Structures are given as C-alpha cells and as structure tokens.
Structure 1
C-alpha cells in the first residue's frame, strides 16, 4: 500500500539521509531537497503529500519557502529547526506550518508526527467542490461555510485558504458549537499528542484562523475566548 510521498528539505545531508531511512522503513516514498528553491521546483513537478522543512538553509530558507509553498499547496508542513526559542516556533507556525520539531530530534517521533498529520489530512479524502457535498458534511454558521468532506471554508462567496491544522481546529469547534474547548483539549484532539503546559501552538493557530475568518480578529464573531477556560463557537 502506498502510504504517500514525503518531501524532505534540509541542507544537511546526514539529516536528509537519516529521515529518509526511517520514513522508507515505515513504507513512505521520499524525495529529498537541499534547500527551499529545490523544494519549490520539486513541488511543481511531483505530487507531494507532506513536507518536512528545515528552517535554516541557504538560497531560500524554510520560513521563506513555507510562505511560497502555502501560495501553491495545502499539504501538511512539519518544520525542523535547531532553534528552540518560542519566537522561532511561533514564526514558523505563523508562516503556515502545521507542526514544529526542534533539533536534535528522535526520528521515531518525527515519523509519529508525519503519521498524525497525514491521518488528519487524508481523513477528508480527495475533494472536488464544496457545492457537491452532502448537507451532513456542511456546517453553516451565518455566512461561514465549513465543508467537512472537501476541506473547504467559505466566507460568503470567498474561498479561504486554511492550512490542514487550522481547518481541523475550526471544524472541531464548529462541530460542537456551544462547547468550550480548553487549549489542552484542542491540542490533544487535533495533534493526538500529550499537551505540554508551556506549549502555545494552539493560541498561535487560533490567532491565524481569526485573521482569516473574522472581519475584526480583536472582536471575533465566530471563535470566542472564554477567559481562563478556552475557546468556543457559540452560534
């Protein structure tokens, strides 16, 4: 069974080869690139299911590459970086990454994160158009339409570009309107991993979602903050 093709982008050959060995041993196809420019060229000529993207690279670094990739594709992106400061993690997530792993990392943990990201992404299947979905797969909240089958979000007539992780968070809240989800609830439901108290990943993603679906992100119509508890969609 073809488990998908992973693009490994890192300027360190040892890292590329290590990740390649572990992914292939788990049944994935792989393509390797040494910088962001090569990765962009590969994406234009190949069907890629997930990208593992290093931050610090020559020619076109991971942050710049992530921005360009998000203009073209919606597949999950896992960023790698030797930097562990929160600001670097937040920057990567802000640019459209779905997950972030700090070097040095356990290759088995990386493979687990690849599986988690692809499991969520494939859950919605290959899509055609939001207008063809059954009503049961369409959530309508005022002028916001969330299509669970096609992985599309419309605000009025405008198709919004959400990353796979942003879509999963939005659909989680939308499918249980009125329920308050803590940051821990959201993280463990979407990432399928144990939540770490200091992790601000969820807050970064909520802010990015609001920037895309809200007219005024500081006074949101859809995703409400329940102070000291978490987030909900109440309508």
Structure 2
C-alpha cells in the first residue's frame, strides 16, 4: 500500500512495485488510508510523513493499533528529528526524497525476505522445539513471537521483536550495529546504521529498561549491544 498525496509520485512508485510483482493499493489521503488498510491488510505500507490533514506520524500510530505490517516512511527533509519522529511510532525504515524507486523496491523485497523466526540456539529441545528464552523478568518466545516483562505481555513491532530475538540468540555476545543491520534488515539494506540505536531506544522504553542501569540490553561502547548486564 502506497500512501502519498503527490499523485504522480504515488503512481510512479506503484508502477515500479507492480512490475516487481506486488499487488498495490494507492491512497492519497491519510484518514482514508487507515480505513483502506483495515480492508486490504497490507504486508507493507509506504507512508509519506508530510501528508496534509492526518500526517504520516498519526497514520502510523493508528496502523500500529491493528496491524504489524512493515512501514517505510518517506520524508522530504533529511533532518534527524523527522526520522526519529517517524520511527518512534513504529516505522521499520525510512527513505528521504528524492529517492530511487528501484532502491525502495529493493528495500521492500529485502524486508519481506526477512525470516520470521530466528536461528536456533543451543538451548533447543531434543525434539527440535525451541524453549522460551528468559533473562530475569524478561521472557521471549521466538516461535510464538511473544514477549513478557514482569509477567505482562509487551507489544512489539516486527522489527523490534526481530532485533530483540537476534540479541537473545547469543547472550553475552556483543553484536555490532552492522551485524544487527545485516541480520534484521538484511544484507541489501543501505542507510544510517544508527537506525539500530533508535529501535534499541524503543525496546528499552517498552521493557522499562534504563540504559544507565540496564536489566536486559547493555550498550557495549565502540561495538554495539548485547543481552545481559554483566561486565
């Protein structure tokens, strides 16, 4: 689904996606886009940040109330604040105008190739079923894609879950941003690796995790992140 008020651009993006084999729905109005998304249940939404009326941020907020589709945010400005605002409501990726429609198609294809389960760790049961992963008050079910913290379910976006699940596959291993990008976003992803930092920030807020006194996700200076709080 492409949500863009510039009709020629929306049509151009839609034509590239259709040529790549996607079924495409176009919308040029934020408020209508939310209703249309409920009807068509898209796998990916390409969403312009600067929509008139109901802007991209609010559309994304409303989408996240009923859908875990991937969201790629389009922004006409490169300032970091726009990126952070867009991602704070659950966008999985962003691209700045002007952009190459081919690059956008490649990013979407990479997103949809992402596995919905993570590599099986050594804690796997003999029958091949993976156990829940527990880190203190945090429990991760990699098969059911559920997370509980302090006994309460935690609602994560697909990307947030994939990031947490990847970190949890190798407790105490420090993952670099580039390793996390390659695993979660895919090897063809191109952009600012600090996208990882934004999503880690979202995870910490949802898990009630303080970066200065982490319970679950620890920053490894000069490297990236790892699960656990040990030195």
TM-score bracket for this pair, using the shorter chain length? 0.7 to 0.9
**CA distance in structure 1 between the partners assigned to 2:192 and 2:7 by the alignment:** 32
Identify the residue that residue 75 of structure 2 maps to in structure 1.
Answer: 81
TM-score, normalised relative to structure 2:
0.87
Whichever structure has more helix as a proportion of its residues is 1
Would the alpha carbon gap of residues 108 and 162 (structure 1) be closer, same or farther in structure 2, given more than 3 Å must change?
Answer: same
Report if aligned partners of 2:215, 2:228 keep a CA contact under 8 Å in 1: no
Identify the residue that residue 63 of structure 2 maps to in structure 1.
Answer: 69
Would the alpha carbon gap of residues 79 and 185 (structure 1) be closer, same or farther in structure 2, given more than 3 Å must change?
Answer: same
State which of 200, 208, 213 in structure 1 corresponds to 2:194. Answer: 200
Identify the residue that residue 191 of structure 1 maps to in structure 2.
Answer: 185
Identify the residue that residue 144 of structure 1 maps to in structure 2.
Answer: 138
Identify the residue that residue 123 of structure 2 maps to in structure 1.
Answer: none
TM-score, normalised relative to structure 1:
0.86
| Structure 1 residue 40 corresponds to structure 2 residue 34 | yes
RMSD: 2.1
Identify the residue that residue 127 of structure 1 maps to in structure 2.
Answer: none
**More displaced 10-residue stretch of structure 1: 7-16 or 178-187:** 178-187
Count of paired positions: 220
**CA distance in structure 2 between the partners assigned to 1:199 and 1:184 by the alignment:** 7
- Pairing of 1:1-235 with structure 2 (within 5 A): 7-120=1-114, 122=116, 135-136=129-130, 138-193=132-187, 199-234=193-228
Pairwise CA distance, 1:142: 2.4
1:38-90 deviation digits (Å, cap 9, x = unpaired): 11111222221111000111121101111111122111100011111112111
Q: Give structure 1 stretches of 5+ with no counterpart.
A: 1-6, 125-133
Pairwise CA distance, 1:137: 5.4
Would the alpha carbon gap of residues 198 and 65 (structure 1) be closer, same or farther in structure 2, given more than 3 Å must change?
Answer: closer
**CA distance in structure 1 between the partners assigned to 2:138 and 2:192 by the alignment:** 32
SS at match of 1:136: coil
**CA distance in structure 2 between the partners assigned to 1:46 and 1:68 by the alignment:** 15
Pairwise CA distance, 1:140: 2.2
SS at match of 2:65: helix
**CA distance in structure 2 between the partners assigned to 1:107 and 1:152 by the alignment:** 34
Report if aligned partners of 2:133, 2:141 keep a CA contact under 8 Å in 1: yes
Would the alpha carbon gap of residues 165 and 29 (structure 1) be closer, same or farther in structure 2, given more than 3 Å must change?
Answer: same
**More displaced 10-residue stretch of structure 1: 141-150 or 178-187:** 141-150
Would the alpha carbon gap of residues 194 and 47 (structure 1) be closer, same or farther in structure 2, given more than 3 Å must change?
Answer: closer
Pairwise CA distance, 1:14: 0.9
SS at match of 2:163: helix
